[in-house]
């Protein structure tokens, strides 16, 4: 069986795509990836997407595929006129993201693409129970929940990771990890570190793109883009993770980002804005602090003063929660997609 994986990004840097590809291999499915190459990573969307559409058209027209895996809404055009099994990953409410708040035309386009994906796909994934319910109400289809849990642990210690990165061994590093996009929290993280004591620094696990104002700030360090297989071995260099996501948009407010679980698996307690799906885990394990903009300084102090207890809470999380179950459920789902009568 040969499946084409479509993703309007670079799958090397998307841990969810990597997880689905690994599960496909476990299910006996050979995958080929059609994504956006790294040399276009910093290009405008108006350049990247037409390039991706042209590349996707070539894969669709000139090769035979037993099925498609569509990893995001911008790869949905690849599923049109395709009658074989399709899996769609609905990782967010696509027309409710922060970047579309004042873009009515693009919002309508994204809404149509998402609706088309649910109509044409045989199975759908999502990342938490809120989104499962939201998509069921919107489209009458039940998604399979696959959490963004890493299925591996860091192989390096904090000391080893810091030595490799050239970081001071005793400095308290707050970590911001992930895509640098409006509303995702980098702006808030930059403002946050500038109001923290000089002894603290910010480690941005990601590229220096579109943030020229921090290029010369010695307290803000950038690692550059990190492939997903190396991500935890970089994140483990920090002390605590920041998830200061803007909650204005419905999609972001009800998200459960990869970075949340990746912080915890790397042993970092989390300082987060009020995200109901993340609060469930924080309330269960006590592995972080929920904050608001007006209480950010106080809550950061609370996390630091109780750091030993919060670190123990991340250890409890890692003892009780494992990402391998997510791979197993994905593998079973893909087997059902290909052979619905034999599983």
pLDDT at residue 208 in the model: 61
Shared domain check, 233 and 170: yes
331, pLDDT greater than 60: yes
Whole-structure pTM value? 0.90
226 and 163, same structural domain? yes
How many folded domains does the chain comprise? 2
Identify whether 343 is part of a domain: no
Quick one: 54 and 100 in the same domain? yes
**What pLDDT shows up at residue 182?**
52
- Same domain flag for 185 and 232: yes
Q: Taking 70 as the threshold, does the pLDDT of residue 341 lie above it?
A: no
pLDDT for 234 = 95
Question: Looking at the structure, do residues 51 and 117 belong to the same domain, yes or no?
Answer: yes
pLDDT band of residue 211 (cuts 50, 70, 90) is: low
Domain identity same for 193 and 248: yes
Q: By percentage, how much of the chain surpasses pLDDT 90? A: 62
Among the listed residues 152, 149, 207, the one whose alpha carbon sits nearest the alpha carbon of residue 176: 207
Cα 134 to Cα 129: distance, rounded to the nearest angstrom = 9
Q: Are residues 192 and 134 located together in one domain of the fold?
A: no
What would the pLDDT profile of 133-169 be if each residue is shown by its tens digit?
A: 999 999 999 999 999 899 889 999 999 999 999 999 9
- 306 found inside a domain: yes
Does 92 reside within a domain? yes
Residue 38 falls within a domain, yes or no? yes
Q: Please write down the HEC assignment for all residues of 131-200.
A: HHHHHHHHHCCCCEECCCCCCCCCCCCHHHHHHHHCCCCCCEEEEEECCCCCCCCHHHHHHHHHCCCCCE
**Domain extent for 240:** 158-320
In the prediction, which pLDDT does 195 show? 87
Confidence of residue 214 (pLDDT cuts 50, 70, 90): low
The CATH number covering residue 77 comes to 3.40.50.2000
């Amino acid at each position: 069986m040969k499946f084409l994986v479509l993703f309007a990004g670079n799958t090397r840097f998307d841990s969810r795509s990597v997880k689905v590809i690994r599960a496909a291999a476990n299910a006996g499915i050979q995958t080929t990836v059609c994504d956006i190459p790294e040399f276009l990573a910093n290009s405008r969307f108006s350049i990247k997407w037409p390039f991706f559409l042209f590349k996707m058209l070539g894969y669709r027209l000139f090769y035979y595929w037993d099925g498609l895996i569509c990893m995001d809404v911008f790869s949905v055009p690849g599923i049109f006129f395709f009658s074989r099994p399709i899996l769609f990953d609905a990782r967010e409410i696509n027309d409710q993201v922060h970047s579309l708040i004042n873009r009515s035309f693009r919002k309508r386009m994204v809404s149509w693409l998402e609706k088309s994906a649910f109509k044409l796909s045989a199975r759908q994934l999502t990342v938490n129970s809120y989104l499962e319910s939201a998509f069921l109400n919107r489209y009458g289809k039940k998604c399979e929940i696959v959490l963004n849990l890493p299925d591996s642990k860091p192989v390096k210690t904090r000391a080893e990771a810091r030595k490799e990165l050239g970081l001071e061994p005793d400095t308290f590093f707050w970590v911001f990890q992930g895509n640098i996009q409006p509303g995702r929290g980098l702006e808030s993280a930059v403002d946050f570190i500038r109001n923290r004591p000089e002894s603290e620094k910010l480690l941005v696990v990601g590229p220096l793109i579109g943030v020229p104002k921090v290029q010369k700030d010695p307290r803000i360090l950038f690692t550059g883009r990190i492939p997903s297989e190396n991500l935890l071995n970089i994140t483990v260099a920090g002390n605590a993770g920041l998830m200061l996501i803007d909650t204005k948009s419905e999609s972001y407010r009800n998200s459960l980002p990869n970075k949340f679980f990746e912080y915890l698996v790397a042993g970092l307690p989390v300082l987060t804005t009020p995200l109901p799906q993340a609060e469930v885990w924080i309330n269960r394990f006590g592995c972080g602090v929920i904050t608001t903009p007006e209480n950010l300084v106080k809550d950061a102090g609370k996390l630091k003063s109780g750091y030993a207890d919060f670190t123990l809470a991340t250890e409890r999380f890692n003892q009780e929660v494992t990402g391998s179950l997510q791979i197993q459920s994905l593998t079973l789902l893909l087997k059902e997609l290909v052979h619905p009568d034999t599983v």
